[in-house]
Amino acid sequence: MIPVKFPESNVTLGANQEQYEPLPVKAYQDKLGRMTCCFRLSDAEVDEIVRTRTIWHTQLTFGDNFQPVQLSTQRPDDL
């Protein structure tokens, strides 16, 4: 998956950190601390999802709590 920069993104996570791919996000100024990012799938990834109907998600917690996540195929209304 390729991180996608989108017009509403206002922060880039992992910028200037060699161990991370830079990730453009929209950081909301709300009590939930929401961040939204976007990825583009390669043709091979699309084929794999169609074949398996499965997406795997790994979240680095660095020993802290696993935070809620939301995956979607739809662009959020409030971007």
Res 8: pLDDT: 96
Write out pLDDT tens, residues 37-77. 999 999 999 999 999 999 999 998 999 999 889 999 999 99
The letter for the amino acid at 1 is M
Q: Long-range contacts made by residues 8-12, C-beta under 8 angstroms, separation at least 24?
A: 8/36, 8/79, 9/37, 11/35
* Inter-CA distances, 70 with 36, 41, 73, Å: 9, 17, 10
What is the domain partition of the chain in residue ranges?
2-52
* pLDDT (average), residues 24-34: 93
SS3 6: coil
Residue 25: burial class (beta carbons within 10 Å; 0-12, 13-18, 19+): buried
Res 56: pLDDT: 94
